[in-house]
Chain A
Amino acid sequence: MNFRLRVWRQENRETEGRLVEYEARDISPDTSFLEMLDIVNDELTERGELPIAFDSDCREGICGTCSLTINGEAHGPRHPGAACQVYMRDFRDGETITIEPFRVGSFPLVRDLVVDRSALDRIVQAGGFISARAGSAPEANSILVPKHNADRAMEAAACIGCGACAAACPNASAMLFTSAKISHLAFLPQGDPERTTRVLRMVRRMDAEGFGNCTNIYECEAVCPAEISASLIAKLNREYARASWRERFGE
């Protein structure tokens, strides 16, 4: 298969970026999208040009490193799945493919298709944890968790932290990401003692990082590789309202 690529090239955040055209030739349909970029990069290297910088690591959809906007869609056409799980058989032979980074104000550009998503780490640092000191944990089966709750916690905890939700959102909101962590811990009895402070701190950190608000567009849910449900945003709002009430009026 052959493709014409239009790739965002930008040396760093001080310089201007632009779309540059490249050819990808004789690509097997079983090649993954990132492997196609590897091939193009090796050709660029051989020609003495600078290869395209893009992020990836596990290449099986779990680490959340890859972060491409393909033809305007975060992670490309194959939902649910990360960009590393897109295969060239998902495209038409001869197609022109536009590849851009995740465009979110809170994700500053590093180079070409690579952005800095440390804002997401800072949201978790604000309170996305249960303070359980190693050594003080009780016997595991002394904490019973109904299967239904454990399953819902797992569904929320499946978030891979890629940031596609914010990239797809017209408001660049990180509500889906934040709601996934808050919900994961709120569905479990272990998360209960810190439930109020956690949601207040995480939401305030999210706002301070410059992410936008949710206006129920659901683009986040559509592109999420981990199939996190946008209903968790409603849960986040409930958790936040409850916590604000308690903060203002006491328990």
Chain B
Amino acid sequence: MIGQLDAKIPPGPIDRKWANYKNNSRLVSPNNRRKFEIIVVGSGLAGGSAAATLGELGYNVKCFCYQDSPRRAHSIAAQGGINAAKNYQNDGDSVFRLFYDTIKGGDFRSREANVYRLAEESVNIIDQCVAQGVPFAREYSGYLANRSFGGAQVSRTFYARGQTGQQLLLGAYQALCRQIAAGKVEMFPQTEMLDVVLVDGHAKGIITRDLKTGAIRAYAGDAVVLATGGYGNVFFLSTNARGCNVTASYRAYKRGALFANPCFTQIHPTCIPVSGEHQSKLTLMSESLRNDGRVWVPKRAEDCAKRPNEISPPERDYYLERKYPSFGNLSPRDIASRAAKEVCDEGRGVGPGGRGVYLDFADAISRLGEQTIRERYGNLFDIYEKITAENAYKTPMRIYPAVHYTMGGLWVDYDLMSNVPGLHVIGEANFSDHGANRLGASALMQGLADGYFVLPYTLPNYLAGQIGKRPSVDHPEFARIESEVRARIERLLSTNGTRTITSFHRELGLLLWDKCGMARNAAGLREAIARIPQIREEFWRTVRVPGEDGSYNQSLERAGRVADFLEFAELMCIDALERDESCGAHFREEHQTGEGEAQRDDENFAFVSAWEYQGNGKIERPKLHREPLEFEAVHLSQRSYK
């Protein structure tokens, strides 16, 4: 039984909490660190930086990833940048402002203490990455350059062309490689975690499948760290990599970890629109493009079929500049996405199917010259051209929102530990820092803060009481969970039906996009909650998973992930229905202001929804726990970007 959730927020004023924590938390001495085995699942910005840093500190780390190399984790695809409150631009930035922007951007549904710590650590991340050799953009003077990003009025974003995620990940990967060479980290690529093992209520191991050979193995550790990313692929089409999945988090949830705010999913406003049914994924165009691109649609629906250059400026509706004059094209993601949906719903969308808006660089090119725009965004224009065969220097880009990031995730306390002792969750996989909407350039910040500077301080606080408590894999609990994992794989392979895995995934994705996407309402959510179990039942009856277990079998990998999405989707919809307010990316059509903005209900919903799995073999309605959100440093207000 889980009692009242305790976030374990340290005492003191907001700007002293982290310092107080560090002064008082328990430590593990260098001699004892080598006695601990830490399991890190995932090798992206959070997992890679955590594994490397824990190895550096002297712990023995085992790091697992499904990719064939830790360098390929999906953090690599992040384009625009990473925020840090360095105030190098002398434009009024501070730790408090970054904290405030993040809390406000998240529509007051994140935990103050965690977010403040994130803002504090942001400055150390830049120092660390520069020391590692991350080639951030620089001024001619040799000093670091910045650009501005959505949801902020200061320039605090550090970047490496349009490949910031790649460069930060390679920094973490190289630090990880150093620890692998030093023998402190053992790396297990192409190895997927399929379950977590609890011994006496503590997370003490995992069960994995070697994707190349099919071998199922058990690993024991003193603590388990999940850094397994987000679940955006539940929508089938998203900007996530094909392999991104919810399996590790969902397995942990089924073993008792609480899942927080699963309905908070970010729909990114600037992606290349869907072109047809063959499509396997969507491609993001960095939000940084909105620094110089102007978003518009024709004022009149009749003009939508015209070529963009045939529509004169007075006939265009620059709707973001019109509706949000002070933030304009740099409005936060949830607001920009909804505004795009709104104009398309009015029949003013452009391109095939009418689901697109223009992102136009003509003004910026005439002001700055094509060369400057090429320097800033060249690789993005190239990506756009490869996919659409259109030259965005000559004709405006067409963009439309797409699923991009998930703010929800496993519930963690201030130590980044879930309610299951020993099970820590970092990066996108946890829920803690972005509330109901994440600001641009903040995901990289969180992943690296968690891995380099938070977990290395909070993990010892748990480990200090755990010396000598690591079980052996001969403990019967490992055998029990392992046999469950094997049984599930056998069931997938033996169904031998007729429908492809893709067809189920696509069906689920379309349903969610429709009922639990950019806008939700009670009736639609109830429909989805009724429909998802039917799809799931059909999946287990009629899916065809070709091949066998004892070899490299990509269909089997995918089938297991889709099976978990089919359960998790229901949890998302239940959460979206339960949260009877609008906030950030969670837009319930029943709750909007007169101007169509999200209408929060702070009196009844200023809490984190943390769901507890209730099924014992079959899926029952999960149990809701509430962590009240208390705001001491900021004043709750209606978000305004006007």
- A associates with B: yes
A62 touching B163, Cβ below 8 Å = yes
B74 touching A58, Cβ below 8 Å = yes
Question: Given the complex of chains A and B, what is the CA–CA distance between A157 and B284 in angstroms?
Answer: 22
Give chain A residues whose Cβ lies under 8 Å from the Cβ of B67.
57, 63, 65
A89 at the B interface (CB under 8 A): yes
Give chain B residues whose Cβ lies under 8 Å from the Cβ of A61.
383, 386
Q: A45-B544, A50-B547, A117-B68 given as contacts; is B552 within 8 A of A184 (CB)?
A: no
B614 at the A interface (CB under 8 A): no
Which stretch from B104-112, B131-139, B471-479 is at the chain A interface? Answer: B131-139
Q: A51-B554, A124-B174, A188-B135 given as contacts; is B130 within 8 A of A140 (CB)?
A: yes
Give chain A residues whose Cβ lies under 8 Å from the Cβ of B175.
129, 132, 134
Question: Given the complex of chains A and B, what is the CA–CA distance between A49 and B555 in angstroms?
Answer: 12
Q: A50-B547, A117-B69, A134-B453 given as contacts; is B142 within 8 A of A146 (CB)?
A: yes
Question: Given the complex of chains A and B, what is the CA–CA distance between A27 and B502 in angstroms?
Answer: 17
A190 touching B131, Cβ below 8 Å = yes
Question: Given the complex of chains A and B, what is the CA–CA distance between A143 and B128 in angstroms?
Answer: 12
Give chain B residues whose Cβ lies under 8 Å from the Cβ of A120.
69
B181 at the A interface (CB under 8 A): yes
Question: Given the complex of chains A and B, what is the CA–CA distance between A115 and B241 in angstroms?
Answer: 19
A190 touching B135, Cβ below 8 Å = no
Question: Given the complex of chains A and B, what is the CA–CA distance between A184 and B135 in angstroms?
Answer: 8
A87 touching B126, Cβ below 8 Å = no
Give chain A residues whose Cβ lies under 8 Å from the Cβ of B53.
134
A95 at the B interface (CB under 8 A): no
Question: Given the complex of chains A and B, what is the CA–CA distance between A18 and B163 in angstroms?
Answer: 38
Which stretch from A28-36, A97-105, A233-241 is at the chain B interface? Answer: A28-36
Which stretch from A147-155, A164-172, A207-215, A243-251 is at the chain B interface? Answer: A147-155
Question: Given the complex of chains A and B, what is the CA–CA distance between A154 and B160 in angstroms?
Answer: 7
Give chain B residues whose Cβ lies under 8 Å from the Cβ of A60.
77, 281, 283-284, 383
The closest CB in chain B to the CB of A144 belongs to B142
Q: What are the interface flags for A199-239 relative to B under an 8 Å C-beta threshold, 1 for contact and 0 otherwise? A: 00000000000000000000000000000000000000000
Which stretch from B149-157, B272-280, B314-322, B584-592 is at the chain A interface? Answer: B272-280
B166 at the A interface (CB under 8 A): yes
Question: Given the complex of chains A and B, what is the CA–CA distance between A188 and B135 in angstroms?
Answer: 8
B243 touching A59, Cβ below 8 Å = no
Q: Taking each of B86, B124, B135, B453, which has the highest tally of chain A beta carbons within 10 Å of its own beta carbon? A: B135
Q: What are the interface flags for B259-299 relative to A under an 8 Å C-beta threshold, 1 for contact and 0 otherwise? A: 00000000000000001101111011000000000000000
The closest CB in chain B to the CB of A85 belongs to B386
Question: Given the complex of chains A and B, what is the CA–CA distance between A64 and B389 in angstroms?
Answer: 22
B488 at the A interface (CB under 8 A): no
A93 at the B interface (CB under 8 A): no
CB of A251, distance to nearest CB on chain B (Å): 22
Q: What are the interface flags for A104-143 relative to B under an 8 Å C-beta threshold, 1 for contact and 0 otherwise? A: 0000001100101110110011111111111111111101
B170 at the A interface (CB under 8 A): yes
B452 at the A interface (CB under 8 A): yes
B68 touching A38, Cβ below 8 Å = no
A23 at the B interface (CB under 8 A): no
Give chain B residues whose Cβ lies under 8 Å from the Cβ of A125.
177-178, 180-181
B386 touching A118, Cβ below 8 Å = no
B17 at the A interface (CB under 8 A): no
A5 at the B interface (CB under 8 A): no
CB of A164, distance to nearest CB on chain B (Å): 15
Give chain B residues whose Cβ lies under 8 Å from the Cβ of A131.
178
A71 at the B interface (CB under 8 A): no
Give chain A residues whose Cβ lies under 8 Å from the Cβ of B27.
none
CB of B354, distance to nearest CB on chain A (Å): 17
Give chain B residues whose Cβ lies under 8 Å from the Cβ of A151.
135
Interface residues on A, range: 35 or more
CB of B263, distance to nearest CB on chain A (Å): 26
B577 at the A interface (CB under 8 A): no
Interface residues of B in 454-490 (CB under 8 A from A): 456
A65 touching B72, Cβ below 8 Å = yes
Q: A42-B502, A133-B56 given as contacts; is B138 within 8 A of A147 (CB)?
A: yes
Question: Given the complex of chains A and B, what is the CA–CA distance between A63 and B281 in angstroms?
Answer: 14
Interface residues of B in 346-400 (CB under 8 A from A): 383, 386-387, 389
Interface residues of A in 156-191 (CB under 8 A from B): 157-158, 160-161, 184-185, 188, 190-191
Interface residues of B in 158-203 (CB under 8 A from A): 160-161, 163, 166-167, 170, 173-175, 177-178, 180-181, 187, 189
Q: What are the interface flags for B533-556 relative to A under an 8 Å C-beta threshold, 1 for contact and 0 otherwise? A: 000000000001011000110110
Interface residues of B in 232-273 (CB under 8 A from A): 241-243
Q: A57-B243, A60-B77, A134-B56 given as contacts; is B135 within 8 A of A153 (CB)?
A: yes
Q: A145-B142, A147-B138 given as contacts; is B551 within 8 A of A121 (CB)?
A: no
Question: Given the complex of chains A and B, what is the CA–CA distance between A12 and B550 in angstroms?
Answer: 12
CB of B45, distance to nearest CB on chain A (Å): 13
Please report whether the interface of chain A is mostly helix, strand, loop or mixed according to DSSP.
loop
- Residue of A35, A65, A85 touching B280 (CB-CB under 8 A): A35
A35 touching B138, Cβ below 8 Å = no
CB of B81, distance to nearest CB on chain A (Å): 14
CB of B383, distance to nearest CB on chain A (Å): 7
Question: Given the complex of chains A and B, what is the CA–CA distance between A120 and B554 in angstroms?
Answer: 23
Question: Given the complex of chains A and B, what is the CA–CA distance between A110 and B167 in angstroms?
Answer: 29
A121 touching B243, Cβ below 8 Å = no
CB of A15, distance to nearest CB on chain B (Å): 11
Q: A38-B502, A65-B68, A143-B130 given as contacts; is B181 within 8 A of A126 (CB)?
A: yes
A158 touching B163, Cβ below 8 Å = yes
- Residue of B68, B284, B546, B551 touching A55 (CB-CB under 8 A): B68
A132 touching B132, Cβ below 8 Å = yes
B276 touching A30, Cβ below 8 Å = yes
Question: Given the complex of chains A and B, what is the CA–CA distance between A120 and B132 in angstroms?
Answer: 20
A39 touching B278, Cβ below 8 Å = yes
Question: Given the complex of chains A and B, what is the CA–CA distance between A116 and B141 in angstroms?
Answer: 43
A30 touching B275, Cβ below 8 Å = yes
Give chain A residues whose Cβ lies under 8 Å from the Cβ of B180.
125
A51 touching B555, Cβ below 8 Å = yes
A63 touching B68, Cβ below 8 Å = no
- Residue of B68, B76, B178, B181 touching A116 (CB-CB under 8 A): B68
Question: Given the complex of chains A and B, what is the CA–CA distance between A147 and B76 in angstroms?
Answer: 23
A242 at the B interface (CB under 8 A): no
Give chain A residues whose Cβ lies under 8 Å from the Cβ of B621.
none
B132 touching A190, Cβ below 8 Å = yes
Give chain A residues whose Cβ lies under 8 Å from the Cβ of B546.
44-45, 48-51
- Residue of A28, A49, A58 touching B278 (CB-CB under 8 A): A28
Q: A63-B241, A110-B552, A134-B128 given as contacts; is B135 within 8 A of A157 (CB)?
A: yes
The closest CB in chain A to the CB of B180 belongs to A125
B600 at the A interface (CB under 8 A): no
B500 at the A interface (CB under 8 A): yes
Q: What are the interface flags for A1-45 relative to B under an 8 Å C-beta threshold, 1 for contact and 0 otherwise? A: 000000000011000000000000001101110111011001011
B551 touching A12, Cβ below 8 Å = yes
Question: Given the complex of chains A and B, what is the CA–CA distance between A55 and B554 in angstroms?
Answer: 9
Give chain B residues whose Cβ lies under 8 Å from the Cβ of A157.
135, 160, 167, 170
Give chain B residues whose Cβ lies under 8 Å from the Cβ of A136.
131
Q: Please give 20 more A-B residue pairs, beta carbons under 8 A apart, in addition to A60-B77, A133-B56.
A: A30-B276, A30-B278, A38-B278, A48-B546, A57-B72, A58-B72, A59-B280, A62-B77, A78-B386, A111-B551, A125-B178, A132-B128, A134-B56, A135-B453, A137-B127, A143-B131, A144-B142, A147-B140, A157-B160, A190-B131
Q: Please give me the 9 A-B residue pairs with the lowest Cβ-Cβ distance, nearest first.
A: A144-B142, A129-B174, A137-B131, A132-B131, A137-B127, A154-B135, A153-B135, A57-B241, A140-B130
Can you list 15 A-B pairs with a CB-CB distance of less than 8 A?
A11-B551, A36-B278, A44-B546, A49-B546, A59-B242, A59-B281, A61-B383, A62-B77, A127-B181, A132-B132, A140-B127, A144-B143, A147-B139, A147-B141, A184-B135
A contact set with B: CB distance below 8 Å: 11-12, 27-28, 30-32, 34-36, 38-39, 42, 44-46, 48-51, 53, 55-65, 78, 81, 85, 87, 89, 110-111, 114, 116-118, 120-121, 124-141, 143-147, 150-151, 153-154, 157-158, 160-161, 184-185, 188, 190-191
